[in-house]
Amino acid sequence: GAGLGSALVGAHWPGLAQGTLAFPEPKLLPLRRLESGLVEASLAARESNLSIGGKPVTLLTYGGMPGPTLRLREGETVRLQFTNHLTQVTNLHLHGLHVSPEVDDPLAQIQPGQSRMYEFTVPKGSAGTYWYHPHIHGRVAEQLYAGLLGLIVVEGPVDAIPELREAEEHVLVLKDFAFSGSRIAPFTPMDWMNGKEGDLLTVNAVIRPTLRAQRGTLRLRILNASNARYYRLALENHPLYLIATDGGFVEKPVELRELLLAPGERAEVLIRLTQAGSFRLQALPYDRGAMMMHGGGMGMMNHQGMGGMSHGGEQSTLAMQGMMMGMGPSRLETLLTIVAPPNPKPLPLPTSLATVERLDLTKVAATRRFELGERMMQAEFFINGRMFDPGRVDVRARRGTLEVWELINKTDMDHPFHLHTYPFQVLSINGRPQPYRAWKDTVNLKKNDVVRIAIPFRDFIGTTVYHCHIVEHEDRGMMGVLQVE
Ligand code: C2O
Ligand code: CU
């Protein structure tokens, strides 16, 4: 967390039964598969009373934490009826799914008591792991942090290859929480600068669960659903074999010692259990660069609301006294324990997974530059010097063209850059070419990073957005409007 109260985790949650329960898999959203090939489902957002770490808590959810997994197949057409049972405006964003921005409209507003139909076709070749969450500018951080999120799993032909079909599959939704009593702790001025972290780390809303493997190969679909926490994942004694990124499968498994997941990112990994025993999946220390409170500043942090921040001036100057840059790295944390079966027999690794299109970079229609900026003390965030304005089009692109975007982070902290609607490939980071081809929708930029991405605007016209997925930064301006014509 932001360094406050991090020693309290164990002390506050003494009654935790760890490792005695079955692995907490999120529920599936019930689907009606009609003869016409249409799939119908409904989803609602509401206040929910749940228990986390043995404590009763009140969250905002889609009927569970995490929300029910929407498990779809490539090519099918889905009619998803979404209803807002909250007391505030919300909407639904299908993060990473390549569907029309008229459906996945980041500016849609669904008032309390209202419904909206989301009808879309799951693209061919999109087998992979996606997610959904609200997208009301100014409220994303609070609604997401409160629990409004769920997974979307797309199945495709590649899932039928034996090395995947016979693996034991689980989903891991990584999310931190900070509570004050049974409620989410109120957002502080610091939270609006850094993005809100919490000291309760959960996997599928359970603190440090145990996964007792039945088979020798695990396939984990992992989502970083935290507002701002980064997870640098490593499993004791085992490499992770990356098989899919945000936008689906890579060409063949990539062996990794560790996997960094920024907010919003997903990855699928295979784990080959070759020995009996228990192994911890850990989040290693990671320094994303953040402000921290120092000395006597802390009292003000607790009692000063957003009002003081947004008006700037004297109050915010006061609140910032004694603050300094450079929060130390996050601590080493155990997220999950994996228990291997006796004499595990892992499957061979798949030799080929997907064909990831090779983009023809001699046909680039436009190269654009996006510079991330911040005015930290005011908690204001920019792209190319401007805060988000829904009435302004920042980029006009043409359907059928390929563009290269150069993303530059001139701020003192990491920012995960997310583009809606159109999956992209990362070409290079600081001039270093990417070692493998993959479709992404979110890419992290460390301080001073220059990241080049290539985006084919193959289909869909309309208006969509790109933004930082530390959603506090998005709420506080770090978002732009893209219009594809
Ligand atoms: Cu997951 Cu525009 O966000
Ligand atoms: Cu950011």
How confident is the model over 328-356, as pLDDT tens digits? 678 899 999 999 999 999 999 999 999 99
From 155, 182, 213, the end of a domain falls on: 155
Q: Are strands 115-121 and 200-203 parallel, antiparallel or unpaired?
A: unpaired
In a domain, 232, yes or no: no
In a domain, 102, yes or no: yes
Atom 1 in ligand 1: residue holding the nearest Cα:
95
pLDDT of residue 237: 97
Ligand 1 atom with the shortest distance to the CA of 442: 1
Q: Exposed, middle or buried by CB within 10 Å (0-12, 13-18, 19+), for 430?
A: exposed
pLDDT of residue 315: 45
Q: Examine the domain organization and report whether 41 and 143 are in the same domain.
A: yes
CA 344–ligand 1 middle distance (angstroms): 39
pLDDT of residue 330: 84
Ligand 1 atom with the shortest distance to the CA of 106: 2
Buried b (16+ CB within 10 A) or exposed e, 324-353: eeebeebeebebbbbebeeebebbeebeeb
Q: Which ligand is nearest to the CA of 472?
A: 2
The pocket around ligand 1, CB under 6 angstroms, is made up of 93, 95, 106, 133, 135, 264, 418, 420, 467, 469
In a domain, 223, yes or no: no
Q: Examine the domain organization and report whether 73 and 28 are in the same domain.
A: yes
Q: Examine the domain organization and report whether 307 and 443 are in the same domain.
A: no
Q: Examine the domain organization and report whether 45 and 89 are in the same domain.
A: yes
Q: Examine the domain organization and report whether 34 and 142 are in the same domain.
A: yes
CA 7–ligand 1 middle distance (angstroms): 32
In a domain, 398, yes or no: yes
Q: Examine the domain organization and report whether 13 and 94 are in the same domain.
A: yes
- One digit per residue, pLDDT tens: the chain, 485 residues? 333 333 333 333 333 444 456 899 999 999 999 998 899 999 999 999 999 999 999 999 999 999 999 999 999 999 999 999 999 999 999 999 999 999 999 999 999 999 999 999 999 999 999 999 999 999 999 999 999 999 999 999 999 999 999 999 999 999 999 999 999 999 999 999 999 999 999 999 999 999 999 999 999 999 999 999 999 999 999 999 999 999 999 999 999 999 999 999 999 999 999 999 999 999 999 999 987 765 544 333 333 333 333 333 444 444 444 454 445 678 899 999 999 999 999 999 999 999 999 999 999 999 999 999 999 889 999 999 999 999 999 999 999 999 999 999 999 999 999 999 999 999 999 999 999 999 999 999 999 999 999 999 999 999 999 999 999 999 999 999 999 99
Express each pLDDT in 372-398 by its tens digit.
999 988 999 999 999 999 999 999 999
Q: Examine the domain organization and report whether 306 and 373 are in the same domain.
A: no
Q: Which domain does 379 fall in, by range?
A: 361-484
From 155, 184, 217, the end of a domain falls on: 155
Q: Examine the domain organization and report whether 435 and 307 are in the same domain.
A: no
From 96, 131, 155, the end of a domain falls on: 155
CA 474–ligand 2 middle distance (angstroms): 7
What does the alpha-carbon distance between residue 64 and residue 325 come to, in Å, rounded to a whole number?
Answer: 37
CB neighbour list of residue 117: distance below 8 Å, 6 or more residues apart:
79, 80, 81, 82
Q: Examine the domain organization and report whether 140 and 38 are in the same domain.
A: yes
DSSP 417-457: EEESSS-BEEEEETTEEPSS---BSEEEE-TT-EEEEEEEE
The residue written with tokens 């920012």 in the block is 415
Q: Starting at the earlier edge strand, list the strands of the sheet with 266-272.
A: 200-203, 168-177, 217-224, 266-272, 240-245, 248-256
In a domain, 168, yes or no: no
pLDDT of residue 294: 56
Q: Examine the domain organization and report whether 298 and 382 are in the same domain.
A: no
Residues in the chain: 485
In a domain, 202, yes or no: no
Q: Which ligand is nearest to the CA of 416?
A: 2
CA 225–ligand 2 middle distance (angstroms): 15
CA 134–ligand 1 middle distance (angstroms): 8
Q: Examine the domain organization and report whether 302 and 429 are in the same domain.
A: no
Q: Examine the domain organization and report whether 23 and 93 are in the same domain.
A: yes
What's the domain count of the chain?
Answer: 3
Neighbouring-strand partners of residue 202: 175
CATH number of the domain at 15, please. 2.60.40.420
Task: Please state the pTM of the whole predicted model.
Answer: 0.90
What does the alpha-carbon distance between residue 277 and residue 448 come to, in Å, rounded to a whole number?
Answer: 42
| Rama region for 382: left / alpha / beta (φ>0; ψ in -120 to 50; rest) | beta
Q: Which ligand is nearest to the CA of 288?
A: 2
Among 59, 12, 52, smallest CA distance to 202 is for 52
- Quick one: CA torsion of 50, 56, 60, 65, rounded to 10 degrees? -40
What does the alpha-carbon distance between residue 323 and residue 8 come to, in Å, rounded to a whole number?
Answer: 23
Q: Which ligand is nearest to the CA of 104?
A: 1
Q: Which protein residues have their CB within 5 A of the ion that is ligand 2?
A: 415, 468, 470, 473
Q: Specify whether the CB–CB gap between 408 and 453 falls below 8 A.
A: no
Ligand 1 atom with the shortest distance to the CA of 133: 1
Q: Specify whether the CB–CB gap between 133 and 140 falls below 8 A.
A: yes
